[in-house]
Structure 1
Amino acid sequence: MLSALGENFGTGAKWSDPDGGLYIWVKLKEGSDMVALNKRSVEEIDVGFHPGINYSPDGTSGK
């Protein structure tokens, strides 16, 4: 997964490099629409993720 992130995002994103577990935290440039990106990702390559707004109390942080 980490190598795929590097191949597809290059320097356009930052992500965690966890020692274990199931999750990788990815941060894209400010203003990226993560909800739209998730929808497109599911439709085009059958890969989904949880946008950061899912974890925000007010539903705005982590977009």
Structure 2
Amino acid sequence: MLLGVCGGIAEFIDWPKQTVRILWLALTIFGGLGIFAYLILGFVMPPPSSDKGNFDIDDYRVE
């Protein structure tokens, strides 16, 4: 939730966010690599696309 890594991965692979977060937690607890991988991905992953959720009235104007 800090950098949006799990949410971005979940959106990319079309899985529920909670599933990805639980898998990340398991990786952190049992493998110890979760925090390191999260930080790396937080800086490597591109930001979310800005075209989602933007409403432009000109797209819906009837002429």
Same fold flag (TM > 0.5): no
- Identify the structure with bigger relative contact order (alpha carbons < 8 Å, sequence gap 6+): 2
Q: Compare CA radii of gyration and give the structure with the larger one.
A: 2
TM-score (norm 1): 0.29
- Structure richer in helix, relative to its length: 2
- Structure richer in strand, relative to its length: 1
TM-score (norm 2): 0.29
